[in-house]
Structure 1
Amino acid sequence: MKTKLYVLYGGKSVEHEVSLKTAVTVLLSIDESRFEVYPVYITREGLWCTPGHLSKEGLTVERLTAQSAFQDPARSIGEILSGVMALPGPKVVLPLLHGTNGEDGTVQGLLELLNIPYTGNGVLSSALTLDKAMSKHLTTEAGIPQTRYQVCSYEEWNTDGAAVLHEMEDTIGYPCYVKPASLGSSIGISRCINQEELLIGIREAFSYDRKLVIEREVDGREIQVAVLGNERPLASLPGEFIHDHTFFDYESKYMDKRLAMSIPAKVSDGLTQRIRKLAIRAYQAHGCEGLARVDFFLGEDGELYLNEINALPGFTNFSMYPVMWERTDGTSYSELIEKLIAYAIARHENKQTIRYTR
């Protein structure tokens, strides 16, 4: 019997479009001789619906979201769970949901209650890695180096914004970055070189979240590592994007056709091993399982600083995460998906040994 593979994509998130691009690539790469695929689209409004079987031929983002293709566009989450995801036989879920309402532990919690295996990180690690403020507190406790930062809530800013500004300028300084605490793909992030820009950046960040992080800029390079696995994770060779942007924002990441990957990154063998070990250490400190991309700054002083951990990194076949694995050990895109499914099933089976009665 084929394993039923439920692919969740879209979502009530500003990273909706990123999820759609990921879903197209994943759906085109799944081995249909082994898996029976059920695409499930979550609209921007949070409505769950399914287009049924989708042929790989000519598959596009437009077809994934075309309401006319849905068997019943009025379906709810309850109808999907009871009518589609409750079908008998072995099953696993691929939650390809970037950002809020998908990468933050919410969907993972639902799947835990349903007792269905799913790829990627669990509830706690998903929540921790998406919340930059909590991740930075944990990174400090773990003794992993990172740049100086400050956390500010919307309430703190409204109550005494002058004090927040004074502390920031006294301890962080300029240039600095203002980031919504729980968002990815560089959305809502501003690079600020003076107080005027900082005030604009704070307003922008608070339009996406009720908590933000302000960080000191690190002069140097951004180095990325792909980590894969559960209890004994593996780290890829490090990579980096070659570009001339002062700030690597959303448009730079997704629309600049001049971007070039350097994999492995041009660093010494000794530093390569140090980066890979520190990536695994950060991954385990956050309780990650399945996959994550760990991003560092390599300062001009030669020091490494953890930037962030992305629990569901960009996952098209041209994204850094899968390409790093292909250039590390030859793992193809479709093989990588099957490894993630295997890790999901292994984690789920391991959890079934836990006792819930005395």
Structure 2
Amino acid sequence: MPAEDTTPTAADVPRQRVLVLFGGRSSEHEVSCLSARGVLWAIDRERYDVVAVGITKDGRWVLMPQGVPATREGTLPAVPSGGTLVTVATTEAGTELLQLTEDGSASLGTIDVCFPVLHGPYGEDGTIQGYLASAGVPYVGADVAASAIAVDKRQMKHVFAAAGLPQVAHDVVMREDWDADTGAELDRIEAALEYPLFTKPARQGSSIGINRVADREALAAGVVEALEYDRVVIIEEGLDGVRELECGVIGNDTIEVTVPGETLHTGEAFYDFEAKYLEPVQLQCPARVSDEVAEACQDFAAQAYRAIGARGMARVDFFYDTTTDRLLVNEINTIPGLTPQSMFPPVWAASGLEFKDLIDRLLSLAVEAAEVSAHYAP
């Protein structure tokens, strides 16, 4: 009589409970909802028990049993203000999701791992990472320090410079200096950099608050708009004939880097918010560049990832100046876009890792990072 097969099946293995957080208080709230829609579609429901929670624009956590709300074509989703309020807390049972009621709270079960799909301030800047770490929840992506560096373009550029990575010429404007003597700040920028220039808030993404400017009047207006989003403004020189290339990176101690991809877009200005999320775009994966340029992208991406101390995942963006054949590191994003028009999933697919498998790897890396961190004294 043959021996009984006791190998556990998929049905015998308990599903990990995954908290998917999206929305948030930043101006990238709607983009976060779009990215979460992609994650919720891709996550393997046979392996994971998924709980979706949206964070409203005023910071309330709302249970979203139906996931991201459906929207009409050409409009962006948002987390509604009503609904069941929840929070995460550490109890004797472990880290639990609690429903908040008039009489106190009620447990909705424990959480094994969190996927924070939160772009920009209060989500990508280390804020939510610190909260989750304090609650003992493993989470996808970079830790507090790396998140804070990556989201702040001024500090990110300092770290890249220290690592010897090539960057576009740039300068910084502080609100207090601008308010004290606007004319002197304009004179200083014009002496240091050449038009056209880009004005950017230091801690925003998705092209929010960014303008391309070609003269002093437009520069002043661009700085004023950027100051609506942050007290620090980055000024960068524009480049003619530039191509925008991107690589994905995943891993903790051991990392993997994708082939570079390129976003092909039209428009006289730049790849702005509408072009990114409301208009059709073409993603070229792999990018049509020489082997030398592709290898340089991958090498710089790995260096940038290591320089900020990233873990889990990131997307590294480059400017390829075709007039001088220079490759410049633009920025690193520790919670890259995961929307249908985002580059991160396609570059991984072009490198042999489909979206569903990518999400599974990221959740595994989150648990691995938490297990390693547990070996160190707090």
The TM-score normalised by the length of structure 1 is 0.91
Structure 1 residues 47 and 200: CA distance shift in structure 2, 3 A? same
What is the deviation of 1:287?
0.8
1:208 aligns with 2:229: yes
What is the deviation of 1:233?
1.3
Q: Within 2, Cα distance between the matches of 1:31 and 1:170?
A: 55
What is the deviation of 1:87?
6.1
User: Which residue is equivalent to 2:250?
Assistant: 228
User: Which residue is equivalent to 1:316?
Assistant: 339
Extract unaligned runs of 5+ from structure 2: 1-13, 100-105
Extract unaligned runs of 5+ from structure 1: none
User: Which residue is equivalent to 2:49?
Assistant: 36
Structure 1 residues 240 and 82: CA distance shift in structure 2, 3 A? closer
Q: Within 2, Cα distance between the matches of 1:305 and 1:30?
A: 34
What is the deviation of 1:77?
6.7
Q: Within 1, Cα distance between the matches of 2:209 and 2:264?
A: 23
Among the aligned pairs, what percent are the same residue? 37
User: Which residue is equivalent to 1:354?
Assistant: 376
User: Which residue is equivalent to 1:266?
Assistant: 288
What is the deviation of 1:88?
5.9
Q: Within 2, Cα distance between the matches of 1:255 and 1:207?
A: 23
Q: Which structure has more helix as a fraction of its residues? A: 1
User: Which residue is equivalent to 2:119?
Assistant: 98
Structure 1 residues 87 and 353: CA distance shift in structure 2, 3 A? farther
Q: Within 1, Cα distance between the matches of 2:141 and 2:278?
A: 26
What is the deviation of 1:180?
0.2
Structure 1 residues 215 and 292: CA distance shift in structure 2, 3 A? same
Q: How does 1:1-358 map to 2 (within 5 A)?
A: 1-51=14-64, 53-54=65-66, 60=70, 65-66=79-80, 70=83, 72-73=84-85, 75=86, 83=98, 91-219=112-240, 220-245=242-267, 246-257=269-280, 259-299=281-321, 300-329=323-352, 331-356=353-378
Computing the radius of gyration from Cα coordinates, the structure with the larger value is 2
What is the deviation of 1:54?
3.0
Write the letter of the residue equivalent to 2:179. N
SS of equivalent to 1:118 = coil
Q: Within 1, Cα distance between the matches of 2:357 and 2:302?
A: 21
SS of equivalent to 1:214 = strand
Structure 1 residues 24 and 283: CA distance shift in structure 2, 3 A? same
SS of equivalent to 2:318 = strand
Write the letter of the residue equivalent to 1:35. Y
What is the deviation of 1:32?
1.6
The answer on whether the counterparts of 2:29 and 2:78 sit within 8 Å (CA) in structure 1 is no
Q: Within 2, Cα distance between the matches of 1:282 and 1:78?
A: 34
What is the deviation of 1:37?
1.1
SS of equivalent to 2:173 = strand
Structure 1 residues 111 and 306: CA distance shift in structure 2, 3 A? same
Q: Within 2, Cα distance between the matches of 1:86 and 1:128?
A: 35
Q: Within 1, Cα distance between the matches of 2:316 and 2:172?
A: 21
User: Which residue is equivalent to 2:5?
Assistant: none
Q: CA RMSD in A?
A: 2.3
Q: Within 2, Cα distance between the matches of 1:106 and 1:143?
A: 28
SS of equivalent to 2:27 = coil
Write the letter of the residue equivalent to 1:54. Q
1:212-263: per-residue Cα shift (whole Å, max 9, x none)? 1001112211111111111121110101111222311111111222x21111
Q: Within 2, Cα distance between the matches of 1:142 and 1:315?
A: 28
Q: Which structure has more strand as a fraction of its residues? A: 2
Structure 1 residues 86 and 102: CA distance shift in structure 2, 3 A? farther
Q: Within 2, Cα distance between the matches of 1:347 and 1:98?
A: 21
